[in-house]
Every structure is written in C-alpha cells, then in structure tokens.
Structure 1
Amino acid sequence: MTIVAQLLVLILVIFSTLLVIGIPVTLASPGQWEKSKNLVYTGSGIWAGLVIITSIVNSFII
C-alpha cells in the first residue's frame, strides 16, 4: 500500500509540474484560451481527483 501511495504522489508531482508550466503558457498565448479552455479544465479536474485519491489512499497507511 505504501508503494501505491508513493506512486500516486509521484504522479501528482509530475502532473502538477506540467500544469504549472502549461497553464500560464496557455493563458499568455494570444487566442489560445478559447482553443485550450476544455483542456485546462480537464487537467484541473484530473489534478483535483488525484489529490482526493492520494489522500484517501494515504489515510489507510498507518
């Protein structure tokens, strides 16, 4: 169970890094917000889901 939690945290860190780089670039690019709006919202939803899943898995570890 510890390995699963560690893998979830690793995935969360990598995904967070991608979002920290990708979202400002998308917002700064002219005309890209309209094209990438759904991608940004989907990425944010996946990130929130990863946070919740990671916290649930972490609650089972003593």
Structure 2
Amino acid sequence: MTIIIQLLVLALVVLSIILVIGVPVTLASPGQWEKSKNLVYTSIGVWIGLVIITGVLNSFIV
C-alpha cells in the first residue's frame, strides 16, 4: 500500500512541476491560451483528483 502512495505522490509532484512551468508559459505566449485551454483545465482536474485520491488512501495507512 505504501508503494501505491509513493507512486501517487511522485505523479503529483511531477504534474505539479509541469503545471508550474507550463501554465505561465501558456498564458504568456500570444495565442497559445486558446489552443491549450482544454489541456490546462484537464491537467488541473487530474491534479485535483490526485490530491484527493492520495489523501483518501493515505488515511488508511497507520
């Protein structure tokens, strides 16, 4: 079970780094926001899901 939590946290950290770099670049680039809007929103939804799933599964570890 702890390996699953560690993999979820790793995925959360990697996705967080990608979002921290990617969202400002997308917003600063002219015309890129309209092209990448759905990808950004989907990535944010996945990030929120990872936070919730990691928190729920972490509550089962003693």
Q: What is the RMSD computed on CA atoms of the aligned residues?
A: 0.5
TM-score, normalising length: structure 1: 0.96
List alignment gaps of at least 5 residues for structure 1.
none
Aligned length: 62
Aligned counterpart, 2:4: 4
Aligned counterpart, 1:31: 31
**1:34 positional shift:** 0.7
Question: Which runs of at least 4 in structure 1 moved beyond 6 Å after TM superposition?
Answer: none
**1:27 positional shift:** 0.3
SS in 2 for 1:15: helix
Aligned counterpart, 1:43: 43
List alignment gaps of at least 5 residues for structure 2.
none
**Which residue identity is paired with 1:35?**
K
Deviations 1:4-46 (A, max 9, x none): 1111001100110001000000000001111111111000000
Aligned counterpart, 2:53: 53
Percent identity over paired residues? 74
